[in-house]
Amino acid sequence: MNLRRWCLLLSMLWQTLALAAPASLEVSLLAASDPALSFAELALVPTQNASTSETLPPGPRSFAWYRVRLLQAHREPLLVLRNSFGAHLQVRMPDGSTLSQRRGTWPVAQPQYSQLNMVFELASVQVGESVYLGVTAAPTQPILVGLYERSEYQALDADSVRLLSACLGVLLAFATLGFVFYAVDRDRTSLAFACSLLLQFAYFGFMYGEAAFWPVFGRLWPNWIDVCVISATLGTIFFGEVYARLIDLPERMPRLMGAIRLLHIWSITIAVITVVDWITRSESRGQLAVMAGFSGNYLVVIMTALLVYALVVSSLQGHRRALIALLATLVLASGNAMRATQFAFGWVGLEWAWSLHVLGMAIASSLVSLALTQRFLSLRSERDLAHQLATHDPLTGALNRLGGMTIAHRLFAQARQSGSPFCAAVLDLDHFKQVNDRFGHAVGDAALKLFADVTRASLRDGQQLMRLGGEEFVLLMPGMDRRRALDHVDAVRLSVQRHGEEIAGAPCRLTVSAGVAQLNKVHASIDAVLNEADQALYAAKRNGRNCAVAFVDLSTPAGANIDAQPGHA
């Protein structure tokens, strides 16, 4: 137990540090007058086939310029810049021409490549020649630079697109599952889960550029920063709500839940600022969104730390869903940590490192959906049990008056509408009070159970058994006319007589009397049918009990309005 405690506490510390790591990497491009420092802050990392220099070429001084010189011959070389979100880039070729790119242009400038990275083709550059890379517009994170051959990069780019598409497909699949759960059970946790995954779908689609090629969403590509900030902040609200409800946080830790709700207000404020920045279209458009995004990073760190604390405490208390959610958070934080480490140390060669971010989200959503499914099944089981207790007699398992009459009204309406036959029988255990008085209430309860079990064993499709109270029961028989219903009830009577000779060691000789009535045009409600069945039951008792009697015609004399199926005394 102590080892488990330490493992959970260490995992909480790891996740908090891992999620906090990206915030420490957010840097600004310094003035071009000090390019050496700018070069260090941007973490421009050379590959083994390229060298970089801070020598400034002639040209605009608003850019920080870096020289990239080819040392070896390459077939169709490509200059690839990773993590260039929010940056305006220019490449000055040896012949003096300039290539310029800014993320979010529409239509897409280079549709042959994904929008995950910025790509500059250097096919005309010879060995020993230099190109100059200019960077402006304050990148949000360190930029990584690499040199690739076209075929090599196209293969890597295709693998990245396939992986991203698969992960996005996972998010959509589990979002659909959440909506299905909500449609079936009206559970708001399932709805919040589905909404959070849709928002994460939008975030990753725009953050990693696939949204630029989507038919409808592509029009929003120029506003990718706004979409990312809005979807991420609102997604944080929904995901926090899902985690809180999975572990019953409002009931377990109300103060902590109050702190998380305050963070939700922070998230909504960030989203509103971004929307205002989007609508106003001011000259500084996008800068407020970037600042809001930075604030959102700290928001995610704080909320995750609070949720992880709650998950650890709940896990130590034996909460299974909390343990699954904690594992999901650990997977997601590990992906974020690997991505942050790549940028921190300039691991350009780790082509798969960025993908752990979205892959971690896909795996985490799978784990959370597992916990959500477990919660859904648990809630359904509890609800079914509550419904069972509310609509069924706990002693015999038959429908009680509330549950039985609800079904009886429905069957009556269906029979009237379709014109199909419908019969109801009222059954009463003969001399049941004497059984209780002579052998005790335990034997009396056993007699009621035996009757209910024998009757249920003979039920056909659609038939229902209801206990009206005491020793009186109702058998609902849709699809049966009076003669078939009478035969069926008499078969039940004979079966009870056969099995009721001895009950719990007592010679009870249990018998049943029954009255059957069929729906006709004069019946205004199910109560009228049951009233006629009750009259037939009293006729059966007058006939000596242990028999089944059918009500034939209300207009006949009281002594002749029955069709009897006599029993044997």
**Residues 6 or more apart in contact with residue 42 via CB below 8 angstroms:** 27, 29, 64, 135, 139, 142, 143
Is the predicted pLDDT of residue 466 greater than 60, yes or no?
A: yes
Report, as an integer, the average pLDDT of 324-353.
Answer: 65
For residue 48, what pLDDT band results from cuts at 50, 70 and 90?
Answer: very low
Rounded Cα–Cα distance for residues 1 and 260 (Å): 29
Provide the 8-state DSSP code for 111: T
Q: What six digits make up the tokens of 344?
A: 């921190």
C-beta neighbour count of 482 within 10 angstroms? 19
Instruction: Identify whether the C-beta of residue 321 lies closer than 8 Å to the C-beta of residue 371.
Output: yes
For residue 399, what pLDDT band results from cuts at 50, 70 and 90?
Answer: very high
How confident is the model at residue 452, as a pLDDT? Answer: 94
Q: Which residues of 72-94 are buried (b: 16+ CB within 10 A; e: fewer)?
A: eebeebbbbbbbbbbbbbbbbbe
Is the predicted pLDDT of residue 38 greater than 70, yes or no?
A: no
For residue 412, what pLDDT band results from cuts at 50, 70 and 90?
Answer: very high
Q: Are strands 144-149 and 88-92 parallel, antiparallel or unpaired?
A: unpaired
- pLDDT tens across 55-70, in order? 334 444 456 677 777 7
Is the predicted pLDDT of residue 112 greater than 80, yes or no?
A: yes
Report, as an integer, the average pLDDT of 397-408.
Answer: 91
Q: CA angle 540-544-549, nearest 5°?
A: 20
Percent of the chain with pLDDT over 70: 76
Q: Are strands 422-429 and 512-518 parallel, antiparallel or unpaired?
A: antiparallel
Does the reported pTM lie above 0.75? Answer: no
Give the phi and the psi of residue 336 in degrees, each rounded to 5.
-65, -40
How confident is the model at residue 286, as a pLDDT? Answer: 53
Rounded Cα–Cα distance for residues 399 and 377 (Å): 24
Segment holding 131, helix H or strand E:
strand 130-136
Report, as an integer, the average pLDDT of 531-535.
Answer: 94
Handedness of CA 388, 393, 397, 401 (dihedral sign): negative
Rounded Cα–Cα distance for residues 30 and 43 (Å): 13
Length of the chain: 569
Task: Render 206-221 in DSSP notation, one character per residue.
Answer: HHSSGGGGSTTGGGGG
How confident is the model at residue 31, as a pLDDT? Answer: 32
How confident is the model at residue 141, as a pLDDT? Answer: 58
Percent of the chain with pLDDT over 90: 24
Rounded Cα–Cα distance for residues 203 and 209 (Å): 10
Amino acid letter for position 543? N
How confident is the model at residue 33, as a pLDDT? Answer: 35
How confident is the model at residue 511, as a pLDDT? Answer: 93
Q: What six digits make up the tokens of 102?
A: 């800014």
SS3 394: coil
Provide the 8-state DSSP code for 397: -
Instruction: Identify whether the C-beta of residue 447 lies closer than 8 Å to the C-beta of residue 508.
Output: yes
How confident is the model at residue 179, as a pLDDT? Answer: 93
Rounded Cα–Cα distance for residues 301 and 308 (Å): 10
> What are the distances in angstroms from CA 336 to CA 143, 370, 509?
17, 22, 75
For residue 13, what pLDDT band results from cuts at 50, 70 and 90?
Answer: very low
Q: CA angle 10-16-17, nearest 5°?
A: 90
Lowest mean pLDDT among 41-45, 130-134, 278-282, 489-493: 41-45
Is the predicted pLDDT of residue 5 greater than 70, yes or no?
A: no
Q: How many helices (H) and strands (E) does the chain have?
A: 15, 14
Report, as an integer, the average pLDDT of 209-222.
Answer: 80
Is the predicted pLDDT of residue 319 greater than 60, yes or no?
A: yes
Is the predicted pLDDT of residue 326 greater than 90, yes or no?
A: no
C-beta neighbour count of 554 within 10 angstroms? 13
Rounded Cα–Cα distance for residues 126 and 356 (Å): 36
